[in-house]
Amino acid sequence: MRTRITGGRVFDPANGIADEVRDILIEGGRIIADAPRAAGEEVVDASGAIVLAGGIDLHSHIAGGKVNLGRLLMNEDRTLYPEPLGDFCGCGGGRAAPTTHATGCRYSQMGYTAVFEPAVVGANARHAHLEMADIPNIDTGGFLVLGNDDFLLRLIAQGEGQQAVNDYVAWMLKATQCCAIKIVNPGGINAFKFNGRALDLDETGPFYGLTPRRILNTLQRAVTELGVPHPIHLHGCNLGVPGNVKTTLATIGATEGFPLHLTHIQFHSYGTEGDRHFSSGSAEIAEAVNANPHISVDVGQIMFGQTVTASADLMSQYRNHGIADPKKWIGMDIEMDAACGVVPFNYRDTSFVNALQWAIGLELFLLIEDPWRVYLTTDHPNGGPFTSYPHLIRLLMDKPFRDDHLSRIHKAARAHTRLAEISREYTLDEIAVVTRAAPARTLGLKDRGHLGPGARADVVLYVEQPDREAMFAAPRLVLKDGQVVVRNGEIVALTQGRTYALHPPSDPLMDKRLERWFDEAVGLKAKHYQIADGEIRGGEGPELVELNP
């Protein structure tokens, strides 16, 4: 059966369409080329509505070990924020650490249809996939965390060569059914295990004698040579440390021409100017991003209120655990692999530091010129819950609204930001880029993030409103693969999503080598570590992302 969405104002930047009234024709779960009306078509009148592709969140912690630890630590979260609206939702809730069911429902209610977990530790990958399969109405994928795992560090330290690293990365991607590579504080998590408390870009780490720069460059080359569409997704050195703007700029300069994605860049854009020795480095970072077209970023915007921070960067989380709010935290070592720290936090507009962090994130959004290289995130839940996206969108699109909020933050923070001087307001077309088209492009998802023929029929209708927060908080209609799942902000159906993965080829000799490594060092059979296709999404298997040639 065909469905025709007619009369809506279409914004489809991937296909060069901006505010055009045109029909969207759907058949078999995909968008097809427009054709004359036929008998039996279902017609959806979208007059007065804005029509966008389904939203794609490039970076949101939605599943896996640290997410579950966050739920455990913040059990009061589900009491304060019960389940989403609708007859189909009755499995708990939560805001900072929502249940899997609530995660899918709340994303759907905002018009999102795909979300990517950006930090899957290999040892927890099977659990992460089981959780992602339990999230309704959204497609998912995971980014595998490498850069502190012992096998990789040994390969590099012993000079085994780039091909051996490439084969290992390929083996790990397939074994964990992930679709990109994430580095968290390269070498720093491992250094913490040897009692290190900081590790800068060109500082030699303990035991393996490697610098973060060398680890980063080696993995950058690996993903490029393997054809992984998304560049290295980097959580850099010195997260949250005043003065880390210098490290971030040095990291941009260290890429050797390889593409690089800098994640939650707001947390890496701090200077030391002023009597409080904490200042914004956003102008310098934006200038560097603007000048380097091979660099992309997501912001990790701070949003005021209670949340919980969860990160594999135990070095950073240990440093911050003393300011936990409420006063509780969890830290754990994942042997031979990575680590994890979970620290609750309440961002306040009356705090100088928190208020300036909020302003720094907005400065970055507004000063980085190319919307195709900056993606809308809060690093959920680290900067704030993903449910705050509609509010963030209004801050970007509505300068008077932004200025009103700026007037209410800590007075000293206002004096340390140039936010009031920035007149830029995001357009609807730019919002469609940063929340749809750009994330799809960087992940290599050719049938996502647009409304052209062949695309997945993930379509959202928003009622045009001057209040952009209200507009983006409750879509009139959300279609997932052509099926209506949200109507007027309420869940009306639940559907199973898909999992995206990459299976690059690797030398069979790496299989034998890793079998020995798992037997001798890990204490787990490699065949038990590897996730079979039949284990993904109830036996449906993953949808493979096409490798770059």
pLDDT in tens, 510-537: 999 999 999 999 989 999 999 999 999 9
Mean pLDDT in residue range 236-263: 97
Judge whether residue 384 has pLDDT over 90: yes
Task: Reduce the DSSP state of residue 348 to 3 states and report it.
Answer: coil
Spell out a b/e string for 196-206, using b for 16 or more CB atoms within 10 Å of the CB, else e: beebbbeeebe
Report the amino acid identity of residue 538: G
Distance of alpha carbon 512 from the chain centroid: 34
Split at pLDDT 50, 70, 90, the class of 93 is confident
Mean pLDDT in residue range 82-88: 58
Judge whether residue 91 has pLDDT over 60: no
Report the Cα–Cα distance between both ends of the chain, in Å, rounded.
Answer: 37
Q: How many CA atoms lie within 13 A of 544 on its CB side?
A: 10
DSSP designation for 519: I
CA-CA distance, 467 to 464, in Å (whole number)? Answer: 9
Whole-number pLDDT of residue 441: 98
Judge whether residue 270 has pLDDT over 60: yes
Mean pLDDT in residue range 189-209: 96
Whole-number pLDDT of residue 75: 83
Q: Mean pLDDT of all residues in the chain?
A: 95
Residue 199: what are its φ and ψ, rounded to 5°? -155, 110
Neighbouring-strand partners of residue 144: 120, 181
Taking 3-state DSSP, the helix, strand and coil percentages for the chain, each rounded to the nearest 5, stand at 40, 20, 40
Split at pLDDT 50, 70, 90, the class of 335 is confident
Q: Tell me the Ramachandran region of residue 434: left when phi exceeds 0, alpha when psi lies from -120 to 50, beta otherwise.
A: alpha
Task: Reduce the DSSP state of residue 349 to 3 states and report it.
Answer: coil
Q: How many beta carbons lie within 10 A of that of residue 174, not counting itself?
A: 20
Judge whether residue 90 has pLDDT over 70: no
Task: Reduce the DSSP state of residue 419 to 3 states and report it.
Answer: helix
Mean pLDDT in residue range 323-331: 95
Judge whether residue 10 has pLDDT over 80: yes
Q: H or E stretch including 374? A: strand 374-375
Judge whether residue 92 has pLDDT over 70: no
Can you read off the two tokens belonging to residue 299?
């912001």
CA-CA distance, 289 to 291, in Å (whole number)? Answer: 5
CA-CA distance, 519 to 200, in Å (whole number)? Answer: 34
Q: Which of 145, 150, 142 is nearest to 182 (CA)?
A: 145
Can you read off the two tokens belonging to residue 261?
């994605």
CA-CA distance, 100 to 140, in Å (whole number)? Answer: 12
- What does each C-alpha distance from 459 to 29, 136, 481 come to in angstroms? 11, 16, 8
- Determine contact, residues 18/445, Cβ cutoff 8 Å: no
Judge whether residue 212 has pLDDT over 80: yes
Judge whether residue 86 has pLDDT over 70: no
Distance of alpha carbon 517 from the chain centroid: 31
Judge whether residue 84 has pLDDT over 60: no
